[in-house]
Amino acid sequence: MAGLPKDPMILFSVLNTKLRDFYPSLDALCEDMDEDKQAILQTMSSVGFRYDAERNMFV
């Protein structure tokens, strides 16, 4: 996650903003930003968030 914040709570905010404003899915965000989807999911899961594909956001 070189281009994204390391702090999970800031990451939560940044991801949801980017998903809302720029990307139709987490896959699209990861592909465009060259990020590891599994690493993001693991980091977010470690603080209690999961990706909801239907809503295109972490909840």
Asked, for residue 1, whether it belongs to a domain, the answer is no
Evaluate if residue 49 carries a pLDDT over 70: yes
pLDDT average, residue stretch 32-56: 97
| pLDDT at 46 (0 to 100) | 97
2 domain residue, yes or no: no
**Residue 12: domain span:** 8-58
Q: Is residue 3 part of a domain?
A: no
Q: What is the pLDDT of residues 13-43, one digit of tens each?
A: 999 999 999 999 999 999 999 999 999 999 9
How far apart, in whole angstroms, are the C-alpha atoms of residue 46 and residue 42?
6
Relative to beta strand 57-58, strand 51-52 is antiparallel
Number of domains in the chain: 1
Q: Is the pLDDT of residue 2 over 90?
A: no
Q: Looking at the predicted structure, is the pLDDT value of residue 3 above 90?
A: no
Q: What are phi and psi of 16, to 5 degrees?
A: -65, -35
